[in-house]
Amino acid sequence: NAGVTQTPKFQVLKTGQSMTLQCAQDMNHNSMYWYRQDPGMGLRLIYYSASEGTTDKGEVPNGYNVSRLNKREFSLRLESAAPSQTSVYFCASTFSGGGWGNEQFFGPGTRLTVL
């Protein structure tokens, strides 16, 4: 059981370049999330997918797109990277439903620098 995996672990981009961050979970969770973490600002939700085939904007979606490829995989794409997108990106997953929240399981993070 690998849990939540993310690739790559580190990435350096130049302004205007594009890239896709990959995330996969093997816990059969229905919901998946992308967060960014900046110093002193906690975790901010970029996009989420409540279930396979659905995606919705979170708190800070501008400059990003997502794809829920199947139940296991949820990718985050930066079409034209900007220095303001320098951050640590975390993917998470959970089982949602039944009227209660549940533990979110986080991946190890991707550290992205945009020059």
Partner 1 sequence: GENVEQHPSTLSVQEGDSAVIKCTYSDSASNYFPWYKQELGKGPQLIIDIRSNVGEKKDQRIAVTLNKTAKHFSLHITETQPEDSAVYFCAAGGTNAGKSTFGDGTTLTVKP
Interaction site with partner 1 (CB under 8 A):
4, 31, 33, 40-45, 48, 50, 56, 58-59, 90, 92, 94-97, 99-104, 106-109
In three-state form (DSSP H/G/I as H, E/B as E, the rest C), the secondary structure along the chain is CCCEEEECCEEEECCCCCEEEEEEECCCCCEEEEEEECCCCCEEEEEEECCCCCCEECCCCCCEEEEECCCCEEEEEECCCCHHHCEEEEEEEECCECCECCCCEECCCEEEEEC
CB of 41 vs partner 1, minimal distance in Å: 6
Residue appearing with tokens 């790559």 = 8
Amino acid at 85: Q
CB of 15 vs partner 1, minimal distance in Å: 26
Residue placing its CB nearer to partner 1 in the complex, 59 or 79: 59
Residue placing its CB nearer to partner 1 in the complex, 4 or 13: 4
CB of 114 vs partner 1, minimal distance in Å: 20
Residue placing its CB nearer to partner 1 in the complex, 5 or 67: 5
Residue appearing with tokens 């279930």 = 51
Residue placing its CB nearer to partner 1 in the complex, 26 or 59: 59
CB of 62 vs partner 1, minimal distance in Å: 16
